[in-house]
Chain A
Amino acid sequence: MERKAQAESAAVDRDEVLRRAEIDASCRLPVMAFFASSVVWLVVGSLLALVASWKLHSPGFLADFSWLTFGRVRPAHLTVVAYGWASMAGIGALLWLEARLCRAALPLQGLLLGACALWNVAVAGGTIEILAGRGTSVEWLEIPPFWAGLLAVVFLLVTVASMMMFAARRVSHIYVSQWYLFGAVLWFPFLYVMANWLIHMNVVRGVTQAATNWWFAHNVLGLWLTPIGLAAVYYLLPKILGVPIYSYHLSLLGFWTLALFYNWAGTHHLIGGPLPAWLVTVGVVGSVMMLIPVATVAINHHMTTKGHFARLKESPTLRFTVFGAMSYTAVSVQGSLTALRSVNEVVHFTHYTVAHAHLGVYAFYSMAVWAAMYYAIPRLTGREWPSARLIAVHFWCAAVGMALYWIGLTWAGVEQGLQMNDADVAFLDVVRYTVPYLWSRSLAGVLMTAGHLVFAWHLLRVLLPGERLVRGPALFGRRRAAEVAS
């Protein structure tokens, strides 16, 4: 079959064949616009995070500005990083990956540029509304309905562009990354429109709104960010190493079990809450069943990388990719365990959950998207990253910051949960116990933010005209050589 396919390919009219460089060039403006915007939001989101984190151990900090009260800065942080940073970086990566995998030029370039601009407006508008006190207090859906509607309309363009590339694809085989990307561009608009409509228009009532809330909030990670992150890993890992995925059959099983089970997992956020028991049980079981897709992905990625770990020393992209892939396994297994009632009884309502969420969105997703950016941006712009050292600084700030963040808050969360479940411990004593760990979170946040600032500065150097173009990619330990060659 393979031979036959190759023989056929030789007969393809050369004019029809788009070279990789031409495809990358077709993506340049829209994808770079999404990437650059996302990095601005990353910095804004990090600063909001620092303000929120600082307020938790020093509540007097900036306390007299109603716009900066903790209960507004925290959802503003979430909105900015989820819809500004993660989604915009994700859309950029998604469009570029789709174009490469379909071997089709990116369509609707002008419209997508406009979409990027409008998306920025919607995120900015939503965030300002939240800070001004018009947030909805529905977690992950804090953006007021008007701006949320704008986001949904703009997203349709991304879906349409993806569909057009898919229809124009020049390869009959649909690669594993494309399954996930196709899922992401269909799942996200469905989830986002349904959740906003059902909750903000009060189509469903009472605690069903809470069920809808967590159906959405869990799926926005599982069926929007996770597929993009996994698609990036499934593409980058083999491409960087020059090795095909270890078991393609396993990847098929992994995709469909994710589609089947992730959908049902969200209600585990409501264990112990005033909902019908069966509804919560479905969430628990769905979460535990997620072990199947996670195991398939973990085995696949590990076996693909096995024997090539030495390359972590030199390839920055690979380092981010592998960190992200390993964190995916870690966060998913942790998630399945957390959904067990006995574990949830302790860690629900504590800082443990906050650490868990960051393990997913930061250690897995953001690392995977950074990997895609480090790989794609030189190929999109024709300008290499100027400094391998800056990439290393970014990586270590993010990795060490994340580790500190997770360890501190997970430990604090478990202890906080155990103490809260012991009625003999006064509540304020529980609060006092957590304060040193809240400081450790702020310290971790400073480290992560420093990494983001380095990354933003580095990207600026790539984008600024007049910056010396360094040919050849930045590799660890080869900085001199790369610069000599230029």
Chain B
Amino acid sequence: MSLTYLAVWALMLVFAASAIYGLVWAIQHGQLRSFRAGARSIFDEEEPVGVPTDALVREAHPPGAGPEAAPEARPRRGAGHAGERGTGGDGWGLTRR
């Protein structure tokens, strides 16, 4: 009984250790060199880093409706709504496969 417990724990710890070791190895050997950039892959020129979405209403604000309508906090309209394209964006910053 306790032997089973030990064996299963040992096996699972080997799993965990190998997963962590695999990650460390991959980082150290440059396998993930451009990996962090992947976190930015959901952003592009239409909806760039630093600009919240889900706050599109601010543009719909009448000018001067509140202090939060300050220009630097004002997100670009973007393609928030289907059928309404952003006018200034030049695509998505794509990479060819």
Contacts and interface: CB of A to CB of B under 8 A. Distances in A.
Interface of A: 1-2, 5-6, 8-9, 12, 14, 16-21, 24-25, 28, 100-101, 103, 169-177, 235, 238-245, 248-249, 252-253, 256-257, 260-261, 264, 277-278, 281-282, 285-286, 289, 292, 311, 314-318, 375, 378-382, 384, 471-475, 478, 481-482, 484-486
A25 B82 contact: yes
Given A235-B42, A485-B62, A2 B94 contact: no
A294 to B, nearest CB: 13
Given A17-B91, A242-B51, A382-B83, A481 B16 contact: no
A286 B82 CA distance: 44
Determine the main DSSP class of B at the interface with A. Answer: loop
Contacts of A317: 54
Interface in B18-74: 19-20, 22-23, 27, 32-43, 46-57, 59-62, 65-66
A23 to B, nearest CB: 9
Closest 4 CB pairs of A and B: A472-B60, A1-B34, A485-B60, A21-B79
A278 B8 contact: yes
Contact of A6 (B20, B80, B84, B93): B93
Contacts of A241: 52
Chain B interface size range: 35 or more
A171 B79 contact: no
A285 B82 contact: no
Contacts of B41: 171, 173, 175
A384 B32 CA distance: 40
B54 A28 contact: no
A175 B75 CA distance: 24
Contact of A473 (B1, B32, B54, B91): B54
Contact of A315 (B32, B55, B59, B93): B55
Determine the main DSSP class of A at the interface with B. Answer: helix
Contact of B47 (A20, A173, A176): A20
Nearest to A308: B52
Nearest to B40: A244
Nearest to B68: A314
Given A19-B92, A24-B79, A475 B55 contact: yes
Nearest to B84: A21
A2 B61 contact: no
Given A19-B79, A20-B79, 6 more contacts: A1-B37, A2-B40, A242-B52, A256-B19, A471-B60, A473-B80
Contacts of B82: 21, 24-25, 28, 379-382
Nearest to A253: B23
Contacts of B85: 19, 21
Given A235-B42, A239-B42, A382-B84, A171 B57 contact: no
A367 B66 CA distance: 30
Given A278-B8, A289-B12, A9 B91 contact: yes
Given A19-B79, A289-B12, A175 B42 contact: yes
B89 to A, nearest CB: 8
B93 A9 contact: yes
A240 B53 contact: yes
Contacts of A16: 94
16 contacts: A9-B95, A14-B91, A19-B79, A25-B83, A101-B42, A172-B97, A235-B42, A242-B75, A277-B4, A315-B52, A379-B80, A382-B81, A472-B61, A473-B55, A485-B60, A485-B62
